[in-house]
Structure 1
């Protein structure tokens, strides 16, 4: 069992060799633009204008920050506090959740991503668990900290409802039939608590490598410590935190369903010399649902760009492709 960073970072004065990236992959080797272009959208606005803003941001960036979204500031902060309390627990308390199975769907705690098969590890510990239906999964969640199930139960319901609301707006903006994303395309909801401990030399490591999210939609509560970067026009753009805002990003399945109209942008996470905690919610399809470009978005003059496949089949190839630096959508594209 790999040792969790959250148990050892306080005694590390140098970066362990197994976490040091090759020089060409280190974050310090790339220019990072300031966060002055990622769109900021106010959910409490005119519906037609809101839809246009979301579609435009999803086409140009695949990312936007969302304000006035209805989740209280108190709850946004509370989940980060409780998440940190979990990672501060004694090692024996966390150990029973540890797993190195990269595809495990139950509540599981991992160090890095796929520790056993990685050439270089990433500067992150993560606790992942399913959230919907809540009554089916909450009993698998940690009971310590004492408030964990209460706080994350309330938060998961509110964030899922927010995610479904955003999908409804995207649905309308794409001209799809009402309720297109209900059912199998949004049946799952998984949450990831990410702990990025202080790093002795952040220029040598990454918290997460370049990747695109494989699901439908992501909503990130990133607190007040920066670390997220988005690839735009082959340059990395920092996504600095805004108070009480979600970072929303389009996932691979939405890019395919929209037939390439929406963009699933590549992103990464850099480490820092201070503690960083994030809580990520993924709206995800069921494993057996068929994914393909929406038939209402394809025509003789606008043929489908992607093949039809099940989400479960894609999940089995996504992780390998991502770790090998391949585009996980490449083998799904239809060649003219």
Structure 2
């Protein structure tokens, strides 16, 4: 289990230490040059348009990830969020550790949550904000925290509105009526700030190991340095392969999470993704991780249920114990051939 002693100043490291040296990352090619591996781009400027819904359904079924534009998040807010994220991670490690995430807690500075499932550490540091940001900000900047708090709270407010909008579209694509999901306007969210420092040997290091998100959906803003990769499932264009998701100016990335996989009864797929690192550039990403209210049991709404009902909290506990086998642990139908999973 990684501990706080595993943190160090990445900028002072001139070669990848054994603690962070991973096997080769070249097991899968990073997409192809044919255009088939370009993730979908969807505009939300006219969400009720049938074309928008068709594109969204296709993206959720075949990719589990897509870019969105027309989201109405001010560019200035995205810029300010990235600036404050850089400011946070530029603090000395001993200062960041004053806001360290407790072993049994959710919020604060720390290693990747999935670190305990791997023998090697990741070239990564993160900061999780669940609930009010002020207590953390006071630990980091006792007398200079106002702007950080203002930006974070404004971003969380805008992200919640956007998440509700996208989730409503996803539900409609599944064929779920609004009255069937009374909690659709009561979504909760956690903001995850991610830092991937420049690495002297990117071929040996892993930014963030492959995983799916436990959420309904995750909305990601990434800096101009590329690093996000998604696993494209085997299809008529080739075998399973890693595809790089390049940063697009003004666009946000949306990941389908495990809870949406459950709600759709496995029609929509949570996307396996990872982050690789860059030799020369420090990469940042900011993820809004969205889920239902704590007391809501998420369940399949269409077809013969593949999964049993589960709350987000219960599922997070399973994910913490079983990692990427958590979905299988709540499966009630083992033979997918019994089901028609195409809309």
Same fold (TM over 0.5): yes
Cα distance per residue 1:217-274 (max 9 Å; x no partner): 1000012111111111221111011001110011000011111111111111111121
Aligned Cα RMSD in Å?
2.1
Q: 1:155 to 1:69 in 2, by over 3 A?
A: same
Tell me, in whole angstroms, the C-alpha distance in 1 between the residues paired with 2:128 and 2:133.
Answer: 12
Match of 2:171 in 1: 171
Cα distance per residue 1:172-194 (max 9 Å; x no partner): 22221215555289532100000
Match of 1:330 in 2: 328
TM-score using structure 2 length: 0.86
Q: 1:14 to 1:222 in 2, by over 3 A?
A: same
Partner-residue secondary structure (3-state), 2:190: strand
* Uncovered stretches (5+) of structure 2, i.e. residues with no partner: 234-239, 336-343
Task: Pick from 254, 257, 263 the counterpart of residue 260 of structure 2.
Answer: 254
Alpha carbons 1:51, 1:169 under 8 Å: kept: yes
Tell me, in whole angstroms, the C-alpha distance in 2 between the residues paired with 1:18 and 1:30.
Answer: 23
> How far has the Cα of 1:320 moved from its partner?
2.9
Match of 2:212 in 1: 212
> How far has the Cα of 1:18 moved from its partner?
0.6
Q: 1:333 to 1:277 in 2, by over 3 A?
A: same
Q: 1:165 to 1:179 in 2, by over 3 A?
A: farther
> How far has the Cα of 1:51 moved from its partner?
1.7
Match of 1:20 in 2: 21
Tell me, in whole angstroms, the C-alpha distance in 1 between the residues paired with 2:295 and 2:4.
Answer: 32
Q: 1:139 to 1:46 in 2, by over 3 A?
A: closer
> How far has the Cα of 1:138 moved from its partner?
3.3
> How far has the Cα of 1:30 moved from its partner?
2.5
1:317 aligns with 2:323: no
1:138 aligns with 2:124: no
Match of 2:340 in 1: none
TM-score using structure 1 length: 0.87
Tell me, in whole angstroms, the C-alpha distance in 1 between the residues paired with 2:261 and 2:114.
Answer: 25
Match of 1:191 in 2: 191
Alpha carbons 1:113, 1:122 under 8 Å: kept: no
Cα distance per residue 1:266-292 (max 9 Å; x no partner): 111111121001110011133432121
Task: Pick from 74, 77, 80 the counterpart of residue 76 of structure 2.
Answer: 74
Tell me, in whole angstroms, the C-alpha distance in 2 between the residues paired with 1:178 and 1:252.
Answer: 21
Q: Paired residues, what number?
A: 316
* Uncovered stretches (5+) of structure 1, i.e. residues with no partner: 132-136
Alpha carbons 1:216, 1:250 under 8 Å: kept: yes
